């Protein structure tokens, strides 16, 4: 039997490419052809069609199956998530032991005078301490703060890590964290000290929404969860909303480039997407630095 691409129906749904009388909203994660329940073969993320599964098996070691974004399939799809979580907890314990000094030295700060150093000694990103943009994303002072952020990481991280692969997931997390710090640097008061993994976690929210849309999954759960978190962001006092929005936008943009990249040019498109987001971050920070110290 000749296998054909699914045709669009008046209802808006495609039909299974192997069973033309069955409508479906699910597509194979590898070839993107529509498949019905009888043709769905469970994969690490989503479902694959019988043809792709047979092709992967026939190719053997010479052409190992890949994730939706082209990453290598691994047994432990939580490894990077667990490492990031462990780092956050370890730094939280260090903060409890070292006190406020560690927060002052590593937290996100644009440009401020530190009287403890004597004289007119300025500190912050504008003073050349660029590392704060990343180190601040691993800092927490309150148990509820680190608890909520790590809960979000554990809830969203494994699914994204499985879909993107370890290297791509790591890039998504770190660039989202940098984007959150960058928007804080640009929009927040230069002497406002902020910290926490929230920018990176909101990046995971944005990436999850993009992934679910790409997989034709029900968007309502992630939409409701994101709406609740945005409501908290803009109604609770003491929250650096700039970091949340910066991470959210960057995470969505990076994920879109990763999961929608053409298979033939997948890696170059994904690299260029990450480079483009990083370039925006760098340019915004350079301009802001000139405003503060120029």
Query: Which region among 27-41, 76-90, 171-185, 241-255 has the lowest average model confidence (pLDDT)?
Result: 27-41
pLDDT exceeds cutoff 80 at 115: no
Question: Which of 193, 175, 172 has its CA nearest to residue 184?
Answer: 193
* pLDDT score of 118: 59
Question: Which of 263, 271, 261 has its CA nearest to residue 63?
Answer: 263
* pLDDT score of 117: 63
Tell me, yes or no, if 111 is annotated catalytic. no
Over residues 21-80, the pLDDT tens digits come to: 888 888 887 787 888 887 877 665 667 888 877 765 554 444 566 788 888 888 898 999
* pLDDT score of 281: 98
Catalytic residue, candidates 111, 176, 181, 244:
244
Over residues 144-165, the pLDDT tens digits come to: 999 999 999 999 999 999 999 9
Query: Using the 8-state DSSP alphabet, how is residue 45 labeled?
Result: S
pLDDT exceeds cutoff 70 at 82: yes
Over residues 193-241, the pLDDT tens digits come to: 999 999 999 999 999 999 999 988 889 999 999 999 999 999 988 899 9
Rounded to whole angstroms, the Cα distance separating 39 from 207 reads: 27
Rounded to whole angstroms, the Cα distance separating 150 from 292 reads: 34
* pLDDT score of 60: 45
Fold of 78-293: Rhomboid-like fold (1.20.1540)
Residue 2 pLDDT grade (very low, low, confident, very high; cuts 50, 70, 90): very low
Tell me, yes or no, if 198 is annotated catalytic. yes
* pLDDT score of 63: 52
Over residues 264-290, the pLDDT tens digits come to: 899 999 999 999 999 999 999 999 999
Rounded to whole angstroms, the Cα distance separating 185 from 52 reads: 47
Domain ranges of the chain: 78-293
Q: How many residues does the chain have?
A: 294
Averaged confidence pLDDT in the chain: 88
Q: Are 247 and 176 in contact (CB under 8 A)?
A: yes
* pLDDT score of 113: 85
Question: Which of 26, 46, 250 has its CA nearest to residue 159?
Answer: 46
Q: Are 112 and 124 in contact (CB under 8 A)?
A: yes
Which residue has better confidence, 10 or 213? 213
């Amino acid at each position: 039997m000749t296998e054909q691409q699914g045709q669009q129906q008046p209802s808006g749904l495609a039909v299974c490419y192997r069973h033309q009388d069955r409508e479906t909203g699910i597509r194979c994660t590898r070839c993107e052809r529509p498949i019905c329940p009888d043709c769905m073969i469970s994969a690490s993320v989503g479902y694959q069609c019988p043809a792709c599964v047979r092709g992967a098996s026939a190719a053997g070691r010479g052409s190992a199956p890949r994730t939706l974004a082209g990453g290598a399939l691994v047994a432990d799809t939580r490894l990077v998530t667990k490492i990031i979580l462990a780092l956050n907890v370890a730094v939280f314990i260090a903060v409890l032991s070292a006190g406020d000094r560690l927060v002052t030295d590593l937290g996100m700060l644009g440009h401020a005078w530190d009287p403890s150093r004597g004289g007119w000694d300025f500190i912050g990103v504008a003073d050349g301490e660029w590392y704060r943009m990343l180190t601040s994303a691993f800092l927490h002072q309150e148990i509820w703060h680190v608890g909520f952020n790590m809960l979000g990481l554990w809830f969203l991280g494994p699914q994204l890590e499985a879909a993107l692969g370890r290297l791509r997931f790591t890039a998504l997390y770190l660039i989202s964290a940098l984007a959150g710090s960058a928007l804080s640097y640009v929009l927040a008061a230069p002497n406002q000290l902020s910290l926490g993994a929230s920018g990176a976690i909101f990046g995971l929210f944005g990436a999850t929404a993009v992934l679910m849309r790409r997989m034709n999954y029900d968007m309502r759960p992630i939409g409701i969860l994101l709406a609740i978190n945005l409501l908290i962001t803009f109604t609770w006092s003491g929250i650096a909303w700039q970091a949340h929005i910066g991470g959210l936008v960057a995470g969505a943009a990076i994920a879109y480039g990763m999961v929608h990249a053409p298979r033939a040019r997948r890696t170059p498109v994904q690299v260029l997407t990450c480079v483009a987001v990083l370039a925006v971050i760098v340019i915004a920070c350079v301009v802001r630095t000139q405003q503060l110290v120029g």
